[in-house]
Amino acid sequence: MTDIAEKLGLPPVAHIGFVVSDLEKALEQYLPLFGEFQKHEVKLPPLILHGEEQVSAINVAIGKSGDTEIELIQPISGRAPRHEFIEQGGNGMHYLDFFVDDIDTVVEKAKERGYEDYWSARFGNGGWIYLKWEGDSLIIEIMKR
């Protein structure tokens, strides 16, 4: 990962996203490792996934490990990559998130190295993008700092 991180100009990981089918069970599992989490429900605005507008909602628990945010995510409705991850048998680490000043530059460099734009949202000067590499289930999320 270090070689790719250097070529893309990525800073240290800002947060790690775990997608889980049962948030309460995951909290029991991860509480001894990461400490307390703050829980809340998030209803996402309509976003494009596979060329179609999708609305989704998730239950989220946020914790910390040093400077790194740990996010536990349970899909509860709609369609999003998190839902697909669970449907495909996934349960655990789903993505690494990096905060950058210039999303477009990082995405351009990532696409030159074979990454594909999987899911994204842009608003004003902010936003984020999920980048996926064929054959790798781990998603790289690039978010505007």
Instruction: Give the pLDDT confidence score for residue 2 in this predicted structure.
Output: 66
- pLDDT by residue for the chain (145 residues), tens only, comes to 568 889 999 999 999 999 999 999 999 999 999 999 999 999 988 888 888 888 999 999 999 999 999 999 999 999 899 999 999 999 999 999 999 999 999 999 999 999 998 888 887 777 899 999 888 889 999 998 8
The DSSP code sequence of 8-56 is HT--S--EEEEE-S-HHHHHHHHHHHH---EEEEEEPPPEEETTEEE-E
Instruction: Give the pLDDT confidence score for residue 122 in this predicted structure.
Output: 80
Instruction: Measure CA 91 to chain center.
Output: 14
Domains of the chain, residue spans: 2-144
Instruction: Give the pLDDT confidence score for residue 1 in this predicted structure.
Output: 53
| pTM for this predicted structure | 0.90
Class level of CATH domain 2-144 = alpha beta
CA dihedral 100, 90, 41, 16 (to 10 degrees): -30
Which among 137, 123, 124 is positioned nearest to 81, based on CA atoms?
137
Task: Return the structure tokens found at 95.
Answer: 């993505």
CA dihedral 27, 135, 88, 52 (to 10 degrees): 100
Task: Return the structure tokens found at 71.
Answer: 């996010």
Instruction: Give the pLDDT confidence score for residue 3 in this predicted structure.
Output: 85
**How many Å apart are CA 83 and CA 58, to the nearest integer?**
9
